[in-house]
A and B are shown apart, each in its own frame.
Chain A
Amino acid sequence: MKETEDNLAEMKVEKAGEGIRVKNVPNADLLSRCYELGKAMAEKVRSRL
């Protein structure tokens, strides 16, 4: 995931939160963290419109 984050940094992408990494299969808690990350990203975008 570091490689992805390095590439995003090169594109000057502003992070909406910490990236999410899972070992093996994501459980319900992990998927709900993903969902919340998506929502946080959306809020940041909407604040810029």
Chain B
Amino acid sequence: MKNTFKAVPVTEDVWWVGAIDWNIRDFHGYQTRRGSTYNAYLILTDTVTLIDTVKAPFREEMMARIASVIDPGKIDYIVSNHSEMDHSGSLPEVIAAVNPKKVFASAVGAKTLKELFSIDREITAVKDGETLSLGNRTLTFLETRMLHWPDSMFSYLNEEELLFSQDAFGMHYASLERFADESDPAILAYEAATYYANIILPYSPLVLKLIERVTAAGLSFRTIAPDHGPIWRKETGGIIGNYAKWAAQKPEAKAVVVYATMWHSTEMMARAISEGLAAGGLHVKLMSMDEVHRSDVVYELLGAGALAVGSPTLNNHLLPNMADILTYLTGLKPRNLIGAAFGSSSAPLSAPTAGAGRR
């Protein structure tokens, strides 16, 4: 059978050679209802360079896309911007198959890749601001430590003003449209915000510093090529502006009330608090952990000014699904919230009728 997996041109010299994971629905506790993509990029210049790879089970798809434009054996360099396994899982096999002249990563990345995989060849550590000549093109490396792993870095293709941003500016969205400008803007807005809330939020102070840094350096971006979801071209200011807004966590006139209930007492309290919040002029999102996913709560909290949390007492503790959301939230570090706790203990003798739809 002929190869049906094709590379997609991003610019004259850069090709998308990633893989589409239509079926993934959970990413470390984050519900990915629209699947994801693992983006890898091939720079076809004098020195042929592969930027990142894909999750291990998708290696053949990536190799087929590469083979649709060049013999994979002609790859000279591989750059690993991020060692997490969704981008490096197939790296050892790709190195073995391609035998590139050099493999590059940040200093932490080089160490991490050696620790994660048995790669018995040198990985060249690059420094922040270091440049790498690809012949008629130049890559500049920008360390982005803790965005969102200690090893993370960006690579910037100077002549094309193209940023390979690994996980940043991405989203979990499987589609055959490779570019944001070909995709439904409502889906992009929702998925980019959900991704930020569920992955990037704890690193918001670093996002603000990074935006300050690239602005001061006068870098401009004609294209932003992340490791998940569609590629931003033509218009890249929108997603950068959104990151600046989300990272600032400036409170808006919005409240989230999250609760679980056993026999509807905590639910009645949640509804009364919600009515008060609305009477006070806030837009309210009332969310029962018996019905919604934790990822949705974090999405709604982006830009909220208030959070009320209610749980009944079960065996002297929270209900398990409330412990779940609170553990998830504390790790994601939402900030600038006004809050309150509430809840009931012991069950009523007869269940009230409010919210009788609980499963």
Contact = CB atoms under 8 A, between A and B. Distances in A.
Contacts of A10: 330
A49 to B, nearest CB: 6
Contact of B335 (A12, A22, A31, A43): A12
A45 B253 CA distance: 7
A34 B253 CA distance: 19
Contacts of B343: 1, 4, 19, 21-22
Contacts of B88: none
Q: Interface residue tally of chain A, by bracket?
A: 35 or more
B340 A17 contact: yes
Contacts, number: 170
A39 B268 contact: no
A37 B340 contact: yes
B280 A14 contact: no
Nearest to A20: B342
A40 B279 CA distance: 10
Interface in A1-49: 1, 3-5, 7-8, 10-17, 19-26, 30-32, 34-46, 48-49
Given A41-B255, A46-B253, A46-B280, A7 B342 contact: no
Contact of B305 (A4, A36, A49): A49
A23 B265 CA distance: 9
A41 B279 CA distance: 11
Given A21-B345, A34-B273, A45-B305, A4 B326 contact: yes
Which 8 pairs from chain A and chain B are nearest by CB?
A42-B280, A38-B276, A45-B305, A13-B339, A34-B272, A19-B341, A25-B348, A35-B276
Interface of A: 1, 3-5, 7-8, 10-17, 19-26, 30-32, 34-46, 48-49
Interface of B: 251-253, 255, 265, 268-269, 272-282, 305-311, 313, 317-318, 322-323, 326-327, 329-330, 333-349, 352
